[in-house]
Structures are given as structure tokens and as C-alpha cells.
Copies of this chain bind each other. A is one copy, B any other.
């Protein structure tokens, strides 16, 4: 069963010779940005960073594992909050420097308790407006002090 808006074709057109490890162009710090998109609604939920090791863990386990730059350690999405991300597909862009994860997100992807991190919009003058309120109080998910990685 694949209810993704963006399913992989049943038969891939070609197999590249290189595995994803060799095709990804990590930064000097060993990181690559990863965009998480809800597979069936198309909503872009968040962007975070992965290392070679957390990408490998993500592919192996099927659960999103990022690299927390502030904590300097792997960040298993939902480990504290319960708001897990099941990863259905991992895409790589043309020049190998960005990943796109098609995911199934439990509840809120954002540490503010909102579904998506992209909840502010700028108008033509640059004025920011907040588009959505939290689904859940972040202190319920993370305890006092919140849960930012």
C-alpha cells in the first residue's frame, strides 16, 4: 500500500552505480540538510540536518534520526515527545547536497507543538504573520523548558 502523493515508480528507470553514501555531498562539518514532507498531504513539515551515521540509521530503522547541532548528538525524532516520523522514502537532489524525506508524522513535527515548523508567512512588505496555533502545548510534549533540538 502506497498512499503517497509522490510514490516511487514501480520500476525505477535506472540504478545508479553509487550508493547514497557516496552521492551525498556533506558539508565540511559532515552534515546534509534533510527536508521532511508528509507523504500523503504534501505538507512540508521541517528541515533539519543529518550526518552519514544518522542517515544510515534512518534508512535502516525507517524512523527519522537527525543530528542535533546544538546538542552535538543524534536526535531521534519523537524519542522524547512521542511525535515520531516514519520514513517512507528518501530522495536525493541533483547535486547531492539536499535530502527529501517522505514521512508519516505523528502529531506535531514542530517543537512549538504545531504540525509544521513553517507557520509564519511574510507579505510583500516583509511583515510576518503567524498562520496557525499549536496543536498541543509543547510543555506537555517536552516538559517545562520545551524541546528544541
Q: Which residues of A contact B (CB under 8 A)?
A: 5-6, 8-9, 12-16, 18-21, 23, 33, 35, 37, 41-44, 46-47, 56, 59-60, 62, 89-95, 98, 100, 110-112, 114, 117-133, 148
Contact = CB atoms under 8 A, between A and B. Distances in A.
Nearest to A14: B130
Contacts of A127: 15-16, 19-20
Contact of A13 (B20, B21, B122, B132): B132
Identical subunits present: 2
B121 A12 contact: yes
Contacts of A13: 129-133
Given A12-B129, A35-B47, A94-B117, 5 more contacts: A5-B41, A13-B132, A16-B127, A92-B118, A93-B118
